[in-house]
Each structure stands twice: as C-alpha cells, then as structure tokens.
A and B are shown apart, each in its own frame.
Chain A
Amino acid sequence: MSVDLSNVRNIGISAHIDSGKTTLTERILFYTDRIHAIHDVRGKDGVGAKMDSMELERERGITIQSAATYCNWKGNDINIIDTPGHVDFTVEVERALRVLDGAVLILCSVGGVQSQSITVNRQMDRYNVPRISFINKCDRTGANPERVTEQLQDKLGLNAHMLQLPIGLESELEGVVDLVTMKALYFDGDNGEIIREEEIPADLQDAAEEKREELLDAVSMFSDELMEAMLEETEITTEMVKDAVRAGTLALDFSPVFIGSAYKNKAVQPLLDAVEYYLPCPTDVENLGLDLEKDEEEFPVTNDSDDPLIMLAFKLEDGRYGQLTYVRTYQGTLNKGDTVFNTRTGKKVKVGRLVRMHSDEMEEIDSCGAGDIVALFGVDCASGDTFTDGKITCSMSSMHIPEPVISLAVIPSDNKAQVNMSKALNRFTKEDPTFKTFVDHETGETIISGMGELHLEVYIERMKREYNAEVEVGAPQVSYRETISARADFNYTHKKQTGGSGQFGRVAGYMEPLEEGEYEFVDKIVGGAIPREFITSCDKGFKKSLEKGTLCGSPVTGVRCVINDGAFHAVDSSDVAFQLASIGAFKEGYMKAKPAIMEPIMKVAVEGPSEFQGAVMGSINQRRGMIIGTTEEGNYTVVEAEVPLSEMFGYSTTLRSLTQGKAEFTMEFASFKPVPKSVSEELVKKYQDERKEK
C-alpha cells in the first residue's frame, strides 16, 4: 500500500492551562466536518468539548489525558493529539511530542508566555519538534498579540514573527490581514465558516506593508530565491514566501505566529492552512530507531510503507472493549489480522482490530501505513514498547519518564472497594508510567505516588467514579529518597542453626555512591568464594535492602554494591541464606557510608504584579526556598525559585491571601537534594517513633 506521506501531518496541540486549546481543537473538528455542532469546554449545554471526553475534565475545564483525533483539511490527513496543560500531566505531553512531527503552541493573547509555555517549549526542543504559534483569545480585553510575539522571542528564544495582523482587537476583532498574500480575511456565518477575502483596510495598509517587510527580512535567509528577488527587486511570489517560512520552520530556525480567537470563530481556518504549509510531513523529519542487533546503533527509519514494519506504542487506555493501544507507525504497513512482535518481550501478538481514534469514538480501518497514528485493540503491552513484523529487530528511542515526587495512602472502605481499587490501580499504572503504586509491608497500606497533588487527586476521583471504589485518603507525603555519601566496607556472616539443615552465607565487599543511576551490583568474586548460583541471591538481597532505608524508611538510590569475598557451606548455604547475608551486609555497610535523606526540590515560578514581589519572595524564603532570580517586565514580575516540595503544600492559599489573588504559581520537579540536618533529624525521629508504635 502506498500513501502519499506529503499529505500527512501528525501534530500536537500544546499550551498553558486555560489558553483555549481544547476550544481550538473543537473548532478544527468543526471546520473539517468531523463534528457538526460546536460545544464549549464549560458550556451551558452540558455536552462539553469533544476532546475533553473524561467527565472530570469537563467538570474542571482542563485536559487531563491527551486525546487523539483525525481530520482531513483540503486533502491533507491531520492526526491531532490534544495534550494537557498542567505540569502534573507532563508525561502525557512528552509522549505526544515523541510521536508527533510538528506542534502548534497555543498562547493566550492576554496572559502571553507563561511558565507552563516555557516548560512545553523546552519539551518541544528536547524532541526537535518544529512549531508554529497561535495567539488565541484576541477578542479578550487586554489582548496584545505583538507583546506576546515579543515574549516568544525573549522568553522562549524563538525567532518568532507574526504572519498576520489583527483587524481590530478585543471586542472589535473582525478578522486578520494575511501578510503573505496581503489580503484581509473575515469570517462570516454563524460559526465563522464562510471566509471572505477583501483588500486590506486603508488604515492598516501601512502597518501591513511594514510588517511584511520585517517578515521578508526575517525569512529571506532561508531561501536563496527569495533573497535574490528581494535584492533584485523583482516580484516576490506568495509561494516564495511560503517556501522560505517552511524551510525556516522545519530547520527549527523560525517560528511563524498566527492570531485569532477560537471562541469567536476567527482565523482558525488559516491556522489549518498553516499546518499544511509550514509543519512537516513524516518524511520531513528524521526519526531514529535503535538497532538491537548492532548494540543499539542508531539508524534513521525510512517512512516507507513497503519496508519492514516499525511502530511505537505511546499510550495505553483501558476502555470498554479492552486495552486500547495508541501506536505511531514509522515505516511499513500494518493490516488487520497481522501478527506483530513486541521487541521488548519478544512476544507475538495478533492485531484483531485496528481503529482510528476520534476522541472517545473510533472508526474501524483495515490497514495503516508509515506516518499514521492509530489504535490497536487487545494488544497487551506497556507504554513505550516497539512493535515490528519480525523482519527487523529494533527499538524506537526510549521516552523520558520523570520520577514521582509525592505519595499518599489510600484505604478502601470495604472489601468491595478493595477489589475495585485493585482493578483501578492496575489499569492506571499500565496507562501512566509516572503513576506508581505499592503496598507498605509495615503498615499494610496501599501507597500511590505521582507528579503532584492534582495528579493523584485525579486518579482518586477516577477510582471513585469509574470503579465505584470508595477510598479514604491519607495526607500527601513527600517521596523522600535515601542515599550514601561515602564508601564503606561490609563483611557479614549469616548463620542460623535451629535443628535440621541450617542457613549459612558470608558476604564481604563494599558499597559506594553511584554518580548516575539508582543501583549497580558488581561481582568481583574470584576463586569461588561464593558459588555462581548464589551471586544472584546476593543481588536480590541488596535490592530488597534498597526498598526501605533505615533513616526514614524511604527507598535507597545511588548505591553501587561490590562483593569481593565470601564463604559458603556445602549443606547449609542456600538462596535464602545468601539473600539474608546480603541484607545484613547492606545494613552493616549502610550506616558507615554516611547515609543522607534526599528530598524533591521543585522549580517554582510565581507570576504576579510587581507590587507583591517582596511578599512573594518573603513567602518563598520562609519555605526554605532559594530564589534564583526575578524578572521584571513593566508592572509584572516573575520570581523563580527552587523550593522543597514538602514546603509547598498549601502554598496556593498563602499566595492568594498575600497577593489578593492576583499572583499564580506553577511548579515542576527539578532534582533531589539532601535535606538540611534539622529536617533530617526530624524525619529520622518521626520514622523511629512510628516504628515504636507498631
């Protein structure tokens, strides 16, 4: 099967919370005839926007899970992933960006570039995603697209230039001037579906010419043809400008800016045209696979539907009809009924049903080719798995998954709730790699951990709503880590004789801090001091010890355990004996290795009027925060700081009262750092008291 990939666009829609990306997606679906009526995010009709399919999303007016949809615009197949704006759901954004070829960055014309836009932009940089910007909400009071474009340049470092000028602003917004075609565009009809092209209004003619000159100057470096035409003062065609903008955008050296108001149905169609003109098709970007037969050597995938199949599962969902797996095909063709291989597990899986997703509705298809984003039914796998047709052994590069930073205990109210909770947790952990769960063996409590308070709150709500699992929730706890800061030797003998065959094992060696990674086991045993079959037992013993450190009961990370000597007994040595000997050895070495407690440090950005700068900085200082810097722009200031997560509980209330509700903050995980001595002593004491009580 051969599909013209130049007509395929896989794009993401990313932005700061409440910048209107779900509303925009709704309009896109309407103009491309995928839906026949427009519903608002928090609309009075109670239907909710198409892409916010989860009940909770509709209630809160935010996008939690990214939904995938497909539309066709002027003969181009566009796959769209609508991604969440809240930082707690970052993994959803990251996954989407991994499989997309281009993105639309949505900004609010009043709020401009906010801290979450900076996070999203950084993620796009990480995956080399070409992007165009859409400055939305130009109908709102205080709208200033030029200021937002300047912010794109200053704050995000993008070579951003407007390709349109607004005709009127705020409540006077009528349409836009296209600086490429030099025409005025108006959007008539009940839903702005009729585009009226006119001459540029006389009062905007000069401004439009000036802005076009600036635009041509900026993009001429991406096209020799355009540069020549400008120098020789010959005719500059629309195509020349478009080609230059496209070349600059694909090279990530230029970022075109469009403006409009999705809510007022203004200038959404030109944005769709821009997706077609300026964002890459699958063959325009280089995606690299890892050849597992050549020591994970990188190779570019071909994007050819006739080549062996390679596809990446980037999102799982447990729906009404079983597990739904979203995949991006990088090369080859997948037909309904084909058998594919999971390169991680080596398992063969038959693809029974193949669907194209349209938010929570689906459309059955028979096959999909290179560059497509589709969903498979009944394929058991984890997020990030690569599938091939067996003719090639490769994996697509792994995705960056952040460590959870916050946890809380969930206690089911009765046996029924217990069963339902288990089902729910099983599903959530498969769907979301940043959501983790485990049972605390000492307390018997189920602990869930994730990326922030809202992240966990959403899962608790989903447990209640979707699984009818009534649970009580403990107070949120920070996920501390323990680590060691010095090298220490151990030499421990486990000996037990209680009648019958006994237990014997001696493990000697040392532990030392590991610069990168969580744990490493090194076997330096010579001369059979510990028989081969018990080496893995030692590894297991150390791994068990890492689950809970002795300072505050948190997991231990950053440790290299090296064994270089030991002893065994022909009869009494066993797997269990060496595991217990290693646990003893770890305990012995750990206290000598200067253990320390590490806490998650969050990068916090508080934005608000400059008059509150002092109060904001004071509040951060009181929370053991380190202020990195302040940015003052007119009457608005952003304070950036690093603050321990444990000090950030309840900060939104404090900030509200300090700033009359005029400031807002965002935070994201930055790093783990050692806690100060006083806090460490407090945590150790608390842990010891808890243990005594049990």
Chain B
Amino acid sequence: MEKEDLVSNNPLRALGLEKEEGAAGRRVGLVMARAGLGKTAILVQIAMDSMLRDNKVLHVAIGEGVEKTRAWYEDILDLMNQEKKVENFQQVVDEVMQNRMIMTFKENSFSAATLEERMQDLSQQGIFKAECLVVDGFDFTEADNASVLNELKSTMEKNDLKMIWLSAVCHRDDERVSANGVPAPCHEFDEVFDTVLLISPEGDDIRLKTLKCSEACSVDAGKYLIVDPATMLIKKA
C-alpha cells in the first residue's frame, strides 16, 4: 500500500471535493456538530488529505493545546494505517507531518489580524507557506463573526490559500436554520461557505450530512456519509 491509499476513505474524497481544490477557485468549508461529536476528527481527516498530497496545512486550534491537536493527527493516521497497512509507515508519518503546522490561541487572543500577521511572518522567512487553513474552535456566537469571516477570506486571497475549513458548534435547543438547512449560529451567513457538513447521530450511526455543497460534489446536498463512531473514519458513502 502507498501513502495515497491512506486517504481513499477521506471525507473529501468520498464527497469528490478533492479534485476541485485550487482549480475552481478557493473554497471555504464548514463542519458543524453538537459539542463532543467529532468535528476535530473530521477536520483532521480533511487536513490529512491535503497533507498526503503534499499541500502545507496550517491547523489553528483555538482553546486547545499543541500536544492535544498533535495527538489527533497521530491517532487518525494510526487508525487509517490499521485499515490500509502502508509500507514504511513511520517514514510516511515523518514525511507527512512536515506538511503541517499547529498554531494554538487562547479563546480571547485569537483574531484574524494576528493570524494574518503570523502567516506572513512564516511565509516571508520561508519557514512555512500554508496552502490550506484549518480553524478549529472558532466561536461563531460572537457578534462580529461575519467580519472575522470576511477577514479570513481576505487572508485566503492574500496568502493564496486553496481552502479554509472551519468548525462550528450547534445546539440542540436552537432550532433556527437557513434556507439550506444550515443551523444556528451559522444560519445567517451560510453564503460564505461553499460546503457545509453536519455530523449527526442517528440511532447507532453517525452521519456526515452534506447540507450545502458545490456542483463538483459527488454527493448531493441532503445526502450523507456514514462515519464509524469508534474511529470517526468514513465507513461508506
């Protein structure tokens, strides 16, 4: 098995979205779920798909430590390898991890401007030129989130990013949804996102529903992928 085989069941692949990255313009994606349902696991898999195709991924974790974020990547890679058994796995891990940098912020010290400044610094010194940005833990209930999202979009253009993926927490008791079915707190600005995925437990299954999807998506909006609740890896489309 080759390293590429590790991501054959990746959410991006299962949705057919990996093909259009870069080609059809820049994309902003969102993974939503109630607290504790596995948003980070899905984001890490999306990041991993990029990393395994030699794209540089900047993982921004808000309110989480470097060690914990790093452990997510190691655990997910291990799980993927249990299924696929890649040769020289450790070598692959060492190689792939060079494509990732983790930046963590306290909830109150994150701002798009600081992130932009850090990214410029890394890029100008030739240390790390991110191609994909993953932002986990951004608080969408804050009043000025629309402006932060716009700033992130401008960061995307300035830094020539291929895609940004974010995560958002939704709440069972908040029934507000957008026309596309995107729940609060992101229902009022779902036009910002090209793709919106919702992790939703249904009986014994965990489903990854596509609430909003671009034309390239091979799974129509309203359809879903099944996620293994033990590993959070995609079981089947």
Residues 87-137 (chain B) with a chain A CB within 8 angstroms: 94, 97-98, 101-106, 109, 114, 118, 121-122, 125-128
Min C-beta distance of B125 to chain A, whole Å: 5
User: Does the CB pair A630–B127 fall under 8 Å?
Assistant: no
User: Does the CB pair B125–A628 fall under 8 Å?
Assistant: no
When chains A and B are docked, how far (Å) is the Cα of A137 from the Cα of B87? 53
A628-B70, A629-B102, A632-B109 given as contacts; is B125 within 8 A of A618 (CB)? yes
Pick the residue among A614, A617, A640, A673 that contacts B66 (CB under 8 A).
A640
Q: Cβ of B167 < 8 Å from any Cβ of A?
A: no
User: Does the CB pair B127–A617 fall under 8 Å?
Assistant: yes
When chains A and B are docked, how far (Å) is the Cα of A613 from the Cα of B103? 12
User: Does the CB pair B104–A630 fall under 8 Å?
Assistant: yes
Summarize B's interface: helix, strand, loop or mixed.
Answer: mixed
User: Does the CB pair A629–B103 fall under 8 Å?
Assistant: yes
Query: What is the chain A residue whose CB lies nearest that of B66?
Result: A629
Residues 252-272 (chain A) with a chain B CB within 8 angstroms: none
User: Does the CB pair A613–B102 fall under 8 Å?
Assistant: no
Pick the residue among B104, B114, B121 that contacts A629 (CB under 8 A).
B104
User: Does the CB pair A633–B102 fall under 8 Å?
Assistant: no
Give the interface size class of chain B.
20 to 34
When chains A and B are docked, how far (Å) is the Cα of A629 from the Cα of B127? 12
Query: What is the chain A residue whose CB lies nearest that of B102?
Result: A629
Min C-beta distance of A131 to chain B, whole Å: 18
A613-B121, A627-B128 given as contacts; is B65 within 8 A of A154 (CB)? yes
A154-B65, A618-B127 given as contacts; is B121 within 8 A of A630 (CB)? no
Question: Which residues of chain A are within 8 angstroms of B70 by Cβ–Cβ distance?
Answer: 628-629
When chains A and B are docked, how far (Å) is the Cα of A632 from the Cα of B98? 21
User: Does the CB pair B109–A633 fall under 8 Å?
Assistant: yes
Min C-beta distance of A173 to chain B, whole Å: 27
User: Does the CB pair A633–B128 fall under 8 Å?
Assistant: no
Q: What 0/1 readout, one digit per residue, does chain A (391-428) give for beta carbons within 8 Å of chain B?
A: 00000000000000000000000000000000000000
Q: Cβ of B155 < 8 Å from any Cβ of A?
A: no
Pick the residue among A621, A632, A633, A634 that contacts B103 (CB under 8 A).
A632
When chains A and B are docked, how far (Å) is the Cα of A673 from the Cα of B98? 14
A630-B102, A632-B106 given as contacts; is B69 within 8 A of A621 (CB)? no
Min C-beta distance of B227 to chain A, whole Å: 26
Min C-beta distance of B156 to chain A, whole Å: 20
Min C-beta distance of A525 to chain B, whole Å: 31
Residues 40-82 (chain B) with a chain A CB within 8 angstroms: 65-66, 69-70
User: Does the CB pair A617–B65 fall under 8 Å?
Assistant: no
User: Does the CB pair A630–B128 fall under 8 Å?
Assistant: no
When chains A and B are docked, how far (Å) is the Cα of A433 from the Cα of B122? 41
User: Does the CB pair B94–A673 fall under 8 Å?
Assistant: yes
Count chain B CB atoms within 10 A of each CB in A614, A618, A631 and give the residue with the most.
Answer: A631
Q: Cβ of A626 < 8 Å from any Cβ of B?
A: yes
Q: What 0/1 readout, one digit per residue, does chain A (582-619) give for beta carbons within 8 Å of chain B?
A: 00000000000000000000000000000001100110
User: Does the CB pair A621–B105 fall under 8 Å?
Assistant: no
Question: Which residues of chain A are within 8 angstroms of B94 by Cβ–Cβ distance?
Answer: 673
User: Does the CB pair B125–A626 fall under 8 Å?
Assistant: no
Q: Cβ of A685 < 8 Å from any Cβ of B?
A: no
User: Does the CB pair A633–B106 fall under 8 Å?
Assistant: yes
Q: Cβ of A347 < 8 Å from any Cβ of B?
A: no
Min C-beta distance of A406 to chain B, whole Å: 23
User: Does the CB pair B65–A632 fall under 8 Å?
Assistant: no
| 19 further A-B pairs in the complex, CB-CB below 8 A; given A627-B127, A629-B66, A631-B66 | A154-B65, A155-B65, A614-B125, A617-B125, A617-B127, A618-B127, A626-B97, A628-B66, A628-B70, A628-B101, A629-B69, A629-B70, A629-B104, A630-B103, A630-B118, A632-B109, A632-B114, A633-B105, A640-B66
Offer 13 A-B interface pairs, CB within 8 angstroms, sorted by A. Answer: A614-B122, A614-B125, A618-B125, A618-B127, A621-B125, A629-B66, A629-B69, A630-B66, A630-B104, A631-B65, A631-B105, A632-B114, A634-B106
Closest 6 CB pairs of A and B: A629-B102, A629-B66, A614-B121, A621-B127, A631-B104, A618-B125
